[in-house]
Amino acid sequence: MIQIQNVTDFSLKYTLESGQSFRWNRIENAYYGVVEGRILKISQEGTILCVESSTDEDEVSFVSYLRHYLDIGRDVPKILAEVNNDAYMHRAIEKLWGMRILNQELWETVASFILSQNNNVPRIRGIIRRLSERFGERLTLAGYVDYSFPSPDVLATETNEALLACGTGYRANYLQDAAQAVVRGELSLTAMKQMSYPEAKEALMRQNGIGEKVADCICLFSLGHLAALPIDVWIKRIFETLYLRQRATHREIREFAHSYFGAGVGYAQQYLFHYVHECPNWADVEHLSLIRHGVL
DNA sequence: TTCCAGGAGAGAG
DNA sequence: CTCTCTCATGGA
């Protein structure tokens, strides 16, 4: 087991439970998840993180990797100060203090958010779990069993029926198309990591099954582009009620959000998104309206 | 039974 | 450009 010391302004709970990763399970005080082919067990005691891995790790490079994965090196308090512009954001930041945006493995993120469309988090988690059980590699850590996320090569050669049996629904075709595009080199994940945000987003959106929202999720949750703003039904509802008008277009929301929150808009979005899930009454349109007009 | 979920694509206007 | 319809699945 290794420890990471002096981890300040960090919440393992909110970081791993905020719907940006579908792979973490909490058992008692620890989180178990599969990250790039190994099981990790992570727990937080104040400013110390305790981490165990199912594979042997070189401590120096492992700590370096974890700090990147968990976004620990970034000055998040500075970003939050810049987007803390109103009572609603203030409450979200206060409630979710320490939540960070992960830098997840690219292929798993691409596949996961293709599967996320018109779907809900518990079901997305179930689909990914079944895909991994059936097509990934079995991993163990101190009696805990889980499975690696299947590679593009594996998913590219599976039958459509096999993917459907995991509960993917109509998204099976999108998933298989993406896997085959990666194998053929048409969707180059290594090249994408070198691209700017607009370049990466455009490259992703050329892929069948990846629209603007999913592309933004991949840019934000894997590629570290904090200017990305995934607009799902919740975010749309919040921006319409709190800042704009009903039936606002995506372009309106995008332009407002960028000018209002600045470069850290991706972080602002994640705090808004998770806050309405932690405090459901704060997603109520009438409640939001009261906030907007300063009643609450 | 109908509605909804971290939507995208095709078609019409 | 915007609007609408459909797509598969399961829980509420």
Q: Which two tokens stand for residue A180?
A: 């085959």
Average pLDDT, chain A: 95
Q: Which residue has the tokens 């979200």?
A: A92
Amino acid at A189: L
Nearest nt to the CA of A231 via C1' is B6
Please write down the HEC assignment for all residues of chain A.
CEEECCCCCCCHHHHHCCCCCCCEEEECCEEEEEECCEEEEEEEECCEEEEEECCCCCHHHHHHHHHHHCCCCCCHHHHHHHHCCCHHHHHHHHHCCCCCCCCCCHHHHHHHHHHCCCCCHHHHHHHHHHHHHHHCCEEEECCEEEECCCCHHHHHHCCHHHHHCCCCCCHHHHHHHHHHHHHHCCCCHHHHCCCCHHHHHHHHHCCCCCCHHHHHHHHHHCCCCCCCCCCCHHHHHHHHHHCCCCCCCHHHHHHHHHHHHHHHHHHHHHHHHHHHHHCHHHHCHHHHHHHHCCCC
List the nucleotides on chain B closer than 7 A to a protein CB: 4-10
pLDDT in tens, A170-217: 999 999 999 999 999 999 999 999 999 999 999 999 999 999 999 999
Does A54 contact strand B, using a CB cutoff of 7 Å? no
pLDDT in tens, A150-167: 999 999 999 999 999 999
Length of chain A: 296
pLDDT in tens, A80-139: 999 999 988 999 999 999 999 999 999 999 999 999 999 999 999 999 999 999 999 999
C1’ B3 / CA A169, Å: 18
Query: Helices A76-83 and A265-278 meet at what angle, rounded to 10?
Result: 80
Contact A121, A102 (CB under 8 A): no
Nearest nt to the CA of A120 via C1' is B5
Q: Please tell me which residue lies nearest to nucleotide C10, judged from CA to C1'.
A: A123
> In percent, how much of chain A has pLDDT > 90?
90
Q: Look at residue A24 in the predicted model and tell me its pLDDT.
A: 98
Amino acid at A57: E
Banded model confidence at residue A287, pLDDT cuts 50, 70, 90: confident
Nearest nt to the CA of A221 via C1' is B6
pTM metric for this prediction: 0.97
Q: Look at residue A119 in the predicted model and tell me its pLDDT.
A: 97
Q: Look at residue A282 in the predicted model and tell me its pLDDT.
A: 66
Does A15 contact strand B, using a CB cutoff of 7 Å? no
Contact A260, A82 (CB under 8 A): no
Q: Which residue has the tokens 């993180």?
A: A49
